[in-house]
Amino acid sequence: MSVTETSPQLYAALEAWLDRMRALNAASEATIAAYRRDVSGFLGFLAQHQGGAAGLGSLRDITQADMRAWMADARRQGLGPRSLARALSAVKTFFRWIGEREGFEPTAVLAARSPKYTRKLPRPLAEDAARAMIDRVEVQAKEDWVAARDVAVVTVLYGCGLRISEALGLKGADAPLPEVLRIRGKGDKERLVPVVPAAREAVQRYVALCPHPVEAEAPLFRGVRGGALNPRLVAKVMEQARLQLGLPSSATPHALRHSFATHLLSAGGDLRAIQELLGHASLSTTQAYTAVDTARLMDVYRNAHPKA
């Protein structure tokens, strides 16, 4: 949505709402960008649909037919059910805020039904596949220190359940890794993550071999030229390893985080504790791993039960 498609007052209101989401919800810049894109897209459609520039007054008169027309247009443009549900959620959040501020009830917007979609289940690696991945990653690089670095990264991902951005965000001051890491994740939320001995040892070996000085405020994991390690390089080395191991394309750096959660759950881990370790804002996100565990159990049942 360009500024010309909306009134200055509505544009200012959208920016004020985004500032509020930053301040009160600790939303990350990626989340803020998604909110802006989703709500701007809706307001841009509204301007075209109503044949004029969108303004604050036009928001009061939105009907259920307008909402249906927007969702139909989004689907025609190829937006999937999951993405449309996310966009509708952002639009509803914005309208709750602006309705309260401007003194109107956005009934038609809030009553709009989210499209149904099947939530994708996480696709973790089996325990033996996760170990094989770490072993295979080690033989991809020609230089010993690069091999040690790659092993350290994937071991931290699997052993601590970190996002790739969190692992590559570690600083030199974090080495040697303590028994418990303090991690800042999505939305700048802080959590404590225990560090398994294997991860600590892998990082120590990498630090001992790394030709670049490990400086307190510099990235812990370095590229060949000494800069911050690019996450694409981690993905690439895992791709090479998975092809050699015959693993599916879902065997990515993020799959190691899924594996961490699923294997903890299989071993009897508490769902709330796993939620805290992963830094999930909602328990429902973590509950997806129970579905994975149940699906695996049913596969074992069907394959092993004599009457199945």
Residues marked as catalytic: 163, 186, 254, 257, 280, 289
Report the alpha-carbon angle 217-231-186, nearest 5.
Answer: 70
171 in Cβ contact with 218 (< 8 Å): yes
Query: In whole angstroms, what is the distance from residue 217 CA to residue 201 CA?
Result: 21
Q: What are phi and psi of 178, to 5 degrees?
A: -75, 175
Enter the tokens of residue 173.
Answer: 């001051």
What contacts 68, CB < 8 A, 6 or more positions away? 112
Query: In whole angstroms, what is the distance from residue 308 CA to residue 290 CA?
Result: 22
Q: What does the CA dihedral 82, 88, 94, 96 come to, rounded to 10 degrees?
A: -120
**174 burial class (0-12, 13-18, 19+ CB within 10 angstroms)?**
middle
* Closest to 214 (Cα-Cα) out of 204, 159, 183: 204
Query: In whole angstroms, what is the distance from residue 264 CA to residue 261 CA?
Result: 5
